[in-house]
Structure 1
Amino acid sequence: MGLDDLDAAVTDAYGDLDDEIGVALDRETKHELALLAAALGTDRDELVRRGIHALFRRTLDTGDLDFHLRQGFDATYDEYLSGMTYDEMAGGSQPPSPSDDRRYQQ
């Protein structure tokens, strides 16, 4: 597997997502969500969005994301963002087309 496979997997997963996701909550998660909503005065949708961002950031910062990407796709997050492997960055093979739109944007 490689960057093309990773890009295809991300594209497929993104296409499968709707604007709303129905998730069954266990008792502990429901309690934690209720406590956070009450304490922060924020609605649960915003808390779920924040939670996803926090988990993404944590897995990125700790190297867990790169670990899983390397195992599943033989790539890292930096390689995914650039659209090139480290070998390609060093001039080892042909770079991707300039129209590649995989860059993460907020």
Structure 2
Amino acid sequence: MSLEELTETVEAEYSDIGEELDVTLDRETRNELAMLETALEPEETDELVRRAVHLLFQSTVETGKLDFNLRQSHDVTYDEYLSGMTLQEMTGGQFPQAQQNDDRRYQF
């Protein structure tokens, strides 16, 4: 897959999700959500779900799991998606290190 296909897929998923999402909760999730509601006292339960999605997304980005999965499924990274360009497009097809012929770069 490519960057263009990833963009199209994300846009399609965004449209499919819409404004509201019905989610079926298992017993453990309901219990954890009830505990979070009690402790954090949000105005609505929806706020906790939004926060959970943000935290999962942030964690997935920071640990590299998002890039790993995007590279496997679409052959791009999240940074490439955000910039709208692949690394090859940004570097003209070569990594900067390939242009350097310095055998001493790892010596102290």
TM-score (norm 2): 0.83
**How many residues get paired?**
92
SS in 2 for 1:51: helix
CA distance in 1, matches of 2:64, 2:10: 19
2:55 — aligned with what?
54
Pairing 1:5-84 to 2, within 5 Å after superposition: 5-42=5-42, 43-84=44-85
CA distance in 1, matches of 2:13, 2:47: 21
Structure 2 unaligned segments of length 5 or more: list them: 94-108
2:104 — aligned with what?
none
Letter in 1 for 2:28: E
SS in 1 for 2:19: coil
Letter in 2 for 1:49: R
1:98 — aligned with what?
none
Aligned CA RMSD, in angstroms, stands at 0.7
CA distance in 2, matches of 1:80, 1:45: 28
2:87 — aligned with what?
86
The structure with the largest alpha-carbon Rg is 2
CA distance in 1, matches of 2:40, 2:15: 32
CA distance in 1, matches of 2:45, 2:34: 8
TM-score (norm 1): 0.85
Q: How many angstroms does 1:10 deviate by?
A: 0.2
CA distance in 2, matches of 1:40, 1:34: 10
CA distance in 2, matches of 1:6, 1:59: 17
Structure 1 unaligned segments of length 5 or more: list them: 93-106
